[in-house]
């Protein structure tokens, strides 16, 4: 059964198969007997075998949604979001019971026909088929994309955006690509990740001045990336570990062009690092390597792209906070931060330097 989507969160990994079944591993708690749906999203157990307080490590993929097919998934800091074929949107807690999957609750008010789901640290986003963007969660630094006082907010549509075709988000900022190739941003801006030439937070989407139309976007913790229609790579925001792919500044408040020795086709980014998929199905990474994200034994960072060895014919990539997923549509590969078993190996192996194959039932 082909794999249609992969999602890497702060401590978990999720893969969605073409039959709508989602599989998760990493910071999931296996619950047996089944836990009530009204339990908190994160549980604390006195068992010394557990990995830390509020932290679990399950290296074996488990089905999240038996009997409830998903069309799209997104792993976040607390929940795994799943857009159902029925039109419902579910927030699944990282607690999986063998017989009925993850405890979950519906996310009310978000319209059907979701095309993309994303989750920041405190805010989630949904892109609808008509190009509208909805946001909900805790407003702290403008990441809702709409005026609101700090605190928790229910789902609502963003005003001031043209129809959008793609979203990307970091820890507290978001990017939107409209159908004309225009680029928009909102949220936190402490490293210039909004591309406005300043460090000012924006509670509303602001357009980024680009010399050419954009075809794809990605966002890391505090940096942003884009591919233009000519295949050129642009980056802005934090660059303290070389995550923007340059060595000439600690951050950029406006987009700068980045040269690569390969033709980038897809992008994603995590905490202080970037991952790219080439047009030949190869995977490259650059930036911070403190947890093996760019596949090097040395912990030092690199602004130069490093090819991840052992991968070929890759079609999908997903960057978590400190681990990376890749897939050739049949198998998922993972490497980097494995402290919560998000790379599919026992958490005793805290760092996985080489892609680990993860097979789903």
Interval 167-225: pLDDT, tens: 999 999 999 999 999 999 999 999 999 999 999 999 999 999 999 999 999 999 999 99
- For residue 152, what are its two tokens? 């928790």
Extract the tokens encoding 309.
Answer: 């060895």
Residue 141 to residues 93, 148, 157, 210: CA-CA distances in angstroms? 25, 10, 18, 24
The closest alpha carbon to 334, from 288, 283, 266, belongs to 283
For residue 360, the number of C-alpha atoms closer than 13 Å in the C-beta half-sphere is 28
Write the pLDDT tens digit of every residue in 90-104: 999 999 987 889 999
Residue 322: alpha-carbon gap to chain centroid: 11
Predicted local distance difference test score (pLDDT) of residue 45 = 43
**pLDDT score for 55:** 59
| Residue-level pLDDT at 299 | 85
Q: Which among 26-30, 55-59, 259-263, 298-302 has the top mean pLDDT? A: 259-263
C-beta of residue 358 within 8 angstroms of C-beta of residue 12: no
Q: How far is CA 92 from CA 41, 84, 152, 277, in A?
A: 8, 12, 18, 29
C-beta separation of 342 from 14 below 8 A: no
Q: In what order do the strands lie in the sheet with 316-319?
A: 316-319, 323-327, 332-337, 351-358
Confidence of residue 40 (pLDDT cuts 50, 70, 90): very low
Contact 57, 45 (CB under 8 A): no
pLDDT at 166: 98
Q: How far apart are CA 74 and CA 212, in angstroms?
A: 30
In angstroms, how far is the first alpha carbon of the chain from the final one? 9
User: Contact, 316 vs 329, CB < 8 A?
Assistant: yes
Between strands 12-17 and 3-8, the pairing is: antiparallel
Please report the pLDDT score of residue 233 as a whole number. Answer: 98
* Dist CA 172 CA 195 (whole Å): 14
- The full set of domains in the chain, from first to last, is 67-79+111-358 (2.130.10.30)
Contact 138, 151 (CB under 8 A): yes
pLDDT higher than threshold 90 for residue 37: no
């Amino acid at each position: 059964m082909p794999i249609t989507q992969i999602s890497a969160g702060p401590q978990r990994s999720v893969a969605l198969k073409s039959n709508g079944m989602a599989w998760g591993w990493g910071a999931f708690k296996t619950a047996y007997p089944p836990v009530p749906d009204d339990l908190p999203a994160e549980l604390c157990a006195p068992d010394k075998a557990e990995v830390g307080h509020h932290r679990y490590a399950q290296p074996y993929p488990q089905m999240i949604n038996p009997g409830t097919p998903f069309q799209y998934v997104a792993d976040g800091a607390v929940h795994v979001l799943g857009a159902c074929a029925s039109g419902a949107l579910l927030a699944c807690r990282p607690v999986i019971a063998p017989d009925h999957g993850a405890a979950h609750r519906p996310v009310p008010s978000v319209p059907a026909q979701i095309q993309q789901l994303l989750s920041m640290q405190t805010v989630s986003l949904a892109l609808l088929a008509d190009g509208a963007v909805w946001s909900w969660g805790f407003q702290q630094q403008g990441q809702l994309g709409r005026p609101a006082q700090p605190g928790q907010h229910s789902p609502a549509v963003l005003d001031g955006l043209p129809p959008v075709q793609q979203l990307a988000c970091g820890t507290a900022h978001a990017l939107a690509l409209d159908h004309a190739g225009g680029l928009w941003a909102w949220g936190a801006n402490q490293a210039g990740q909004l591309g406005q030439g300043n460090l000012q937070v924006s509670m509303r989407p602001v357009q980024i001045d680009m010399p050419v139309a954009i075809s794809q976007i990605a966002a890391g913790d505090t940096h942003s990336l884009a591919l233009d229609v000519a295949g050129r790579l642009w980056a802005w925001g934090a660059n303290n570990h070389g995550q923007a792919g340059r060595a000439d500044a600690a951050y950029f408040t406006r987009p700068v062009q980045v040269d690569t020795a390969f033709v980038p086709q897809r992008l994603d980014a995590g905490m202080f690092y970037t991952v790219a998929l080439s047009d030949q199905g190869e995977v490259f990474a650059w930036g911070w390597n403190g947890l093996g994200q760019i596949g090097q034994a040395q912990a030092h960072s690199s602004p130069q792209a490093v090819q991840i060895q052992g991968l070929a014919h890759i079609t999908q990539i997903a960057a978590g906070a400190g681990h990376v997923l890749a897939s050739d549509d049949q198998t998922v590969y993972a490497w980097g931060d494995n402290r919560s078993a998000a790379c599919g190996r026992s958490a005793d192996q805290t760092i996985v330097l080489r892609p680990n194959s993860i097979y789903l039932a």
